[in-house]
Structure 1
Amino acid sequence: MAKRRANGEGTITKRKDGRYQAAAYVYRPDGTRHRQFVYGKTRDEVADKLTELQEKTRQGIPAASSTMVFGDFLTYWLAAIAPERLKPATVNSYEGLTRLYIRPALGKKKLNRLSPADIRRFLTEFKAACLCCLRGADKERPEEKRSCCAVGRCCKRRPSARTVQYIHAVLRSALQQAIREELITRNVARIVETPTVTRKEVRPLNAAEARLLLKTARPHRLYALWLLLVSTGLRRGEALALTWSDVDLANSQLRVRRNVQRIRRELIFGTPKTTRSIRTVPLPKHCVRALTQHSEQQERERLVAGEKWQPTSGQPDGLIFTTATGSVTDPRGLNRMLTTLCRDAHVHRVRVHDLRHTCASLLLAQGVDARTIMETLGHSTITMTLDTYAHVMDTTLRAAAKRMDDALNLNEPDEESEGEAKPDNED
């Protein structure tokens, strides 16, 4: 006689339509338990689904259902699914957008009753609302810190078009997971048209301003970092995660294979933004010289620091751009440093990321083709390169037109020669 399965282990049965079904008790997001069913064409398929369901239950991860409210599904998605598919920084930003904006507006809607009209209405109201009030300040903060609209003085700070687009992306991604789990039949966020974003024109430093900034940064202990950012277009997190083993000074090149980001209160090392971001970048000679000098300077700092030289827990060995005590440099601190450098150099204020745009602009001005710039910057597609830097390609395009003139070498005939060459009309 077969041993009877214990309570909570789940059951697998064959349905009249030939499919198999399994049932097990799982946690809801509110902490209560309920019986949930999974289905499949074969017993093995259902057994795998049942095992996955039970594993989540053992870990205390709530299971989703089609009748749960959307806010609970978002909690489940962000806790159980998103961390496996998205990078930590992306999950962190999604959690913030969900907590501040999506859950207060759509959280009480049933997942299976959410409609395109709900999404469209939410996005329309979100775009027009005051950011202070969207965050529910008047409900969560003391009386003296109530939202501006609650006290009759609207700050008129509206969400940017990019923020609206991100909100829409979160909705699409979450509801697509609900489709994968067969909780809903269509992604209503996909039906709603994606909000358009007007790109802000990038204002990088020109060649003269870049030289002035680097001249001002020459005495700075991280001069090699500023030079590298302008010369190679590395992202901030990529540059700060470089180790000496990533750099080959003899062959004048470096390898980008990790980055560092601040996630809440921690500095997390991870893989670069895209697979194309893992790349080898040639180094100009002035960067090789600066890095050599920086290596000698770092060794002196290590000797001066002595026992105070304590790398941060979890950081890779041999970081190039550290603090004076050997710990990883906080990416947020670079913006403050750069603001001071811009002020001292008397150039317009730029962000650290704008140095990446500066690098691309300088390369374009020197006639470097877009494909090479794409590889240098680590863009995922050449379209991204062309779209981002189309406004600074005027010089290159004019040079291409001039080369076409030189290649064809066509001289415009004068009026007299045109008259002589014109054939007579024949009867």
Structure 2
Amino acid sequence: MTNRRPNGAGTIYPRKDGRYEGAAWVKTLDGQRTRIRVYGRTWEETNQALIKAVAEHQNGPGAVTDKRTLAAYLEYWITHIAPHRVRANTLANYRQSIDMHIIPALGAKKLDKLSAKDIRSWLDRIAVQCRCCAQRIDAKRAADKQRCCALGNCCQLLPAPRRLQYYHGVLAVALAHAVREDMIARNVAKQVQVPSGPPRRYEPLTLTEAHAFLAETRRFLHGEVYELALRTGMRRGELLGLRWTDIDFETNTLTIRRTVQRIIGQGKLEMPTKTKSSDRRIPLSPPCIKVLKEHVAFQQAQRDRAGKNWTKTDYVFTSSVGTPLEPQHITQSMKTLCERAGIRRIRFHDLRHSCATLLIESGVPLITVKELLGHSNIMITANTYTHTRLPHQADALRLLDDQLDRPNPKPHRHSATGTENKPESAGAPEQEPTSSDHNS
């Protein structure tokens, strides 16, 4: 019979809706057997589809057995897998991205049915969606402080390309684990390209702005944190995690061993430094030593006022009762500090950029700046934390102009072969070179 199939090749039979259904047994990823099914309008079309499906499972990774939804898998991954691979603050950011953005949009999809088109469509949707409206940012403010979306005036706070890249990256990392454990055949997130957008331009402080900034820090609460950030290039978490035992006033050095971060849902935590290279010892300049010694007296006065309410933590920078400073408060106070100093507004992390840039402009070797900042790779220092400012570019062009505008000496004439034609002595006959000329 034309339609008879060999043993083990599966079976094809007509359906009540007029189509044909083909079914065959194949091995699963865990060594078991499962039945796959295909459909077609004719027997021959169904036969070809069944042959192809069986071949794919025999030659490829096998039949997928995990039928969980993406939401169920992501909950498993963020609870049992990710905590052993990333830092606590990274894990908290992963959890926020999954709960707020990935699961609401894609969570109902079956893990083995998720496609690159699904991910692409999701990213396209949120790229044009106002974050303020979606997350009710303005609506969560007090009624007298609402100013945009809650009043029907959409502020069009669209997510930056870097934010979209991050959401996509979290999903790609989670699916990569599913591939490694044979839950799915391939990572469909890797098939989706997310535009990176223009790189962020940093504008570190100029020397004049730095002088005005430092003058104001001496009149500002916790101004020592901001001054040390500019003078040493230390990160916010490194400064807040600093203990008095890390400072050696005899050798005038400071050792960075830990950070203090606020983790979503967990509060302020003491954590290891960002990388192994971040554990470092740096020298303290006389102004830094002066700031720290003055801070000793300030903290002692705080301790006396707090009395029994003082918490012994040994942290250098503390609240009025001895607890570590709130990282977000330090960041948010930058706006006020810049306004009081009469300079443009910058981020707290831009003090690190400013430190690196001012060092480079002062002629400090790049390798020295790299060690001071605690980078694992000198290219990070060169590409991210140093900036060539417009006045220095202008100085470079002026140097070039000086070269180009100098009187040009009379050029020598050259022969067609490129050898110089030297002027001949008057009346001197032209002579053939001798053997001694060749030897010389």
Q: TM-score, normalised by structure 2?
A: 0.71
Relative distance call for 1:199 and 1:20 in structure 2 (3 A) is: closer
Q: Deviations over 1:237-265 (max 9, x none)?
A: 11011001111222122111111111135
SS at match of 2:95: helix
- Structure 1: any 5+ residue segments left out of the alignment? 1-16, 23-63, 141-147, 312-316
Q: Is contact 2:356–2:386 with CA below 8 Å preserved after alignment?
A: no
Residues 116, 329 of structure 1: CA spacing in aligned structure 2 closer, same or farther, 3 A cutoff?
A: same
Query: In 1, distance between residues paired with 2:204 and 2:227?
Result: 15
In the TM superposition, residue 114 of structure 1 has moved relative to its aligned partner by 1.3
| Matching residue within 333, 337, 358 for 1:337 | 333
| Corresponding position: 1:81 with 2:75 | no
Q: Distance in 1 between matches of 2:152 and 2:165?
A: 29
Which is helix-richer, 1 or 2? 1
CA contact (8 A) 2:360 2:386 kept: no
Aligned to 1:295: 296
Map 1:45-64 onto structure 2 (within 5 A): none
Given that 1:240 and 1:259 are in contact with CA atoms closer than 8 Å, whether structure 2 keeps it comes out as yes
Q: Which residue of 1 aligns with 2:103?
A: 103
CA deviation after TM superposition for structure 1 residue 199, in Å: 1.8
Contact 1:338 1:351 in 2 (8 A): yes
What whole-Å deviation, never above 9, does each CA across 1:242-296 have from its counterpart, x for those lacking one? 0011112221221111111111351011011222211112211210121112112
Structure-1 separation of matches of 2:250 and 2:173: 46
The answer to whether the 8 Å contact 2:235/2:349 transfers is yes
Residue of structure 2 in register with 1:212 after alignment: 212
Q: Following TM superposition, by how much is the alpha carbon of 1:372 offset from its aligned partner in structure 2, in angstroms?
A: 2.0
Residues 4-153 of structure 1: pairs in structure 2 closer than 5 A: 66-132=66-132, 134-135=134-135
Shift of residue 80, structure 1, vs aligned partner: 1.0
Which whole-Å deviations, capped at 9, do the CAs of 1:277-317 have from their partners, x for residues lacking one?
Answer: 11112211210121112112222322232112124xxxxx4
Separation in structure 1 between the aligned mates of residue 136 and residue 215 of structure 2, nearest angstrom: 47
Q: CA deviation at 1:135?
A: 4.4
1:101–1:135 CA contact under 8 A, matched in 2 = no
Q: 1:127 to 1:229 in 2, by over 3 A?
A: same
- Residue 54 of structure 2 is matched in structure 1 by none
Partner of 2:410: 416
1:380 corresponds to: 376
Q: Give secondary structure in 1 for the equivalent of 2:197.
A: coil
Paired-residue identity, %: 36
Task: Name the CA shift for 1:399/1:208 in 2 (closer, same or farther; >3 Å).
Answer: closer
Opposite residue 289 of structure 2, the aligned amino acid is V
- Output the amino acid matched with 1:372: T
Q: Judge conservation of contact 2:66–2:184 (CA < 8 Å) in 1.
A: yes
Secondary structure of 2:76 counterpart:
helix
One-letter amino acid matched to 1:187:
N
Residue 247 of structure 2 is matched in structure 1 by: 247
The match for 1:356 is 352
Distance 1:415 1:403 in 2: 19
SS at match of 1:352: coil
Higher mean C-alpha displacement, 256-265 vs 372-381 = 372-381
Q: 1:164 matched to which residue of 2?
A: 164
Deviation string, structure 1 residues 46-93 (Cα, Å, up to 9, x no partner): xxxxxxxxxxxxxxxxxx972101011111111111111111111111
Does structure 2 retain, via aligned residues, the 8 Å contact 1:364–1:396? no
Q: CA contact under 8 A between 1:364 and 1:393: conserved in structure 2? A: no
CA distance in 2, matches of 1:65, 1:250: 65
Alpha-carbon shift at residue 370 of structure 1 (Å): 2.4
Instruction: Name the CA distance, whole Å, in 2 between partners of 1:152 and 1:396.
Output: 47
The code of the aligned residue for 1:277 comes to S
1:256–1:279 Cα contact (<8 Å) kept: yes
Q: Counterpart in 1 of 2:24?
A: none
Structure 1 CA distance for aligned equivalents of residues 349 and 391 of structure 2: 23
Answer with 1 or 2: which has the greater Rg: 2
Deviations 1:128-173 (A, max 9, x none): 2222454489xx9xxxxxxx99997643221111110101110111
Q: Residues 115 and 381 from structure 1, CA distance in 2 versus in 1: closer, same or farther, beyond 3 angstroms?
A: same
CA contact (8 A) 1:172 1:187 kept: yes
For 1:204 and 1:415, the matched residues in 2 are separated by 43
Q: What stretches of structure 1 move > 6 A for 4+ residues in a row?
A: 19-22, 148-152, 393-404
State the alpha-carbon separation in 2 of the partners of residues 385 and 76 from structure 1: 38
